[in-house]
Amino acid sequence: MAEGLKKARVVIREDECKGCGLCIAICPEGVLFEQKHLNRMGYHPAGYRGEGCTGCGFCFYQCPEPGAITVYKKGYVEEEVA
């Protein structure tokens, strides 16, 4: 059996992000930030600093865009979603 993720991780699909900033405002760890560049819709997309996500999921449930944020929790096994 494959070993799960050692650390939680958040993935933001910049193309689907509307730059509303709600995820950034809610993150208890402060690991999300507004990026300088614009995406295809002209928004400054949110980004992940790359470290420190605990996988609490708060950002996922703040984000209005169905596909913009994915949160992988600690122990998540990649094969679970084929």
Partner 1 sequence: MAKALIKADSFYEIYERKDGIKDVTHYCPGCGHGVLHKLIAEALDDFGIREKSILISPVGCSVFAYYYFRLGNIQAAHGRAPAVATGIKRVHPESVVISYQGDGDLAAIGGNNILQAANRGENITVFFVNNAIYGMTGGQMAPTTLIGQKTTTTPYGRNVVNEGYPVRVCELLATLDAPVYIERVALTDAKNTSKVRRAVRKALQNQIDNKGFSLVEVLSACPSNWKMTPVQAKQWVEDNLIKQFPLGVYKDLTDQIKPKKAEKQVFSVDGLKEKLNIPMEEEKYSTSVKEAKEFRNMKLKIAGFGGQGILLLGLGMAQAAMQAGYNVSWLPSYGPEMRGGTANCHVNISKERIGSPLVSKPTVVIAMNLPSMEKFQSEIEPGGLLLYDTSLITQKPVRDDIKVLGIPATQIADNLGNTRIANMVIMGAFIAYTSVLDKQAVINALPFFIKRKNLIPLNEKAIVEGMNYVLSSN
40 contact, one of ligand SF4, partner 1, none, CB 5-8 Å limit per kind: partner 1
Task: Work out whether 7 is an interface residue with partner 1 (CB under 8 A).
Answer: no
CB of 26 to ligand SF4, least distance (A): 6
Instruction: Please state, as a whole number, how many other Cβ atoms lie within 10 Å of the Cβ of residue 69.
Output: 22
Out of 5, 31, 33, 39, which residue is the one contacting ligand SF4 (CB under 6 A)?
31
Is there a contact between 24 and 46 (Cβ–Cβ < 8 Å)?
Answer: yes
C-beta atoms surrounding 6 within 10 Å: 8
Q: Which residues bind ligand SF4 (CB under 6 A)?
A: 10, 12, 17-23, 26-27, 29, 31-32, 46, 53-59, 62-63, 65, 68-69, 71
